[in-house]
Amino acid sequence: MAQPPPPNIARLAALAALLHFGFDSLLRVWPATTPPHLLTPYMSEIFRSMLELLGRTPISLVTSFVNGLISAIFAVALQGATSRRFAKIAALLSFLWLLTAGLTFQVYLDAPGAVVVTSLLAGLPRAVVVAFFLERSLPPPAPEEGWPAAPSP
């Protein structure tokens, strides 16, 4: 049986980056749901002045590109999973969101606890949506060894 062609990581990264940018654009409207990398009011003066000089949209574009590339790499790494592939990708991306956003709050931001919690929680649907679209863009997994192939109609 011929193997499906490997997924185009650039296409997957572009898709994920667009989704990340869309979530950044939507969620930054409300301070409580703003992603940590866009919470400039809670940054130290040096970071705030530097990032406000650039503007929120370029920061969002760059971080969306990086997050999209990382998401695509992990999706491709899990493409061979034959069972619960979507759940595995979603769990991994959710864990990465909580880890990186949590570290951003810990290291760079001095935000109230409520903002930390709501910002972290607002990022979880982003991870699930990105995982959903990336998983649907991957070729179907090969059947597991030892399992008979499904009968053809």
Q: Are 129 and 71 in contact (CB under 8 A)?
A: no
Task: Name the domain count of the chain.
Answer: 1
What is the reported pLDDT for 64? 95
Q: Please check whether residue 10 lies inside any domain of the structure.
A: no
Q: Please check whether residue 119 lies inside any domain of the structure.
A: yes
Predicted confidence (pLDDT) per residue in 10-69, tens digit: 999 999 999 999 999 999 999 889 999 998 889 888 888 888 888 889 999 999 999 999
Q: Please check whether residue 48 lies inside any domain of the structure.
A: yes
Q: Please check whether residue 151 lies inside any domain of the structure.
A: no
What is the reported pLDDT for 142? 67
What is the reported pLDDT for 129? 96
Residue 94 DSSP SS3: helix
Q: Please check whether residue 82 lies inside any domain of the structure.
A: yes
What is the reported pLDDT for 151? 61
Q: How far apart, in whole angstroms, are the C-alpha atoms of residue 3 and residue 140? A: 10
What is the reported pLDDT for 144? 59
Residue 68 DSSP SS3: helix
pTM: 0.83
Q: Please check whether residue 114 lies inside any domain of the structure.
A: yes
Torsion-angle region of 65 (φ positive above 0: left; ψ -120 to 50: alpha; else: beta)? alpha
Query: Phi and psi dihedrals of 43, rounded to 5?
Result: -90, 160
Q: Please check whether residue 117 lies inside any domain of the structure.
A: yes
Q: How far apart, in whole angstroms, are the C-alpha atoms of residue 114 and residue 135? A: 32
Predicted confidence (pLDDT) per residue in 124-139, tens digit: 999 999 999 999 998 8
Domain residues for the domain of 116 are 29-137
Q: Please check whether residue 146 lies inside any domain of the structure.
A: no
70 burial level (CB within 10 Å; 0-12, 13-18, 19+):
middle
Predicted confidence (pLDDT) per residue in 64-94, tens digit: 999 999 999 999 988 887 788 899 999 999 9
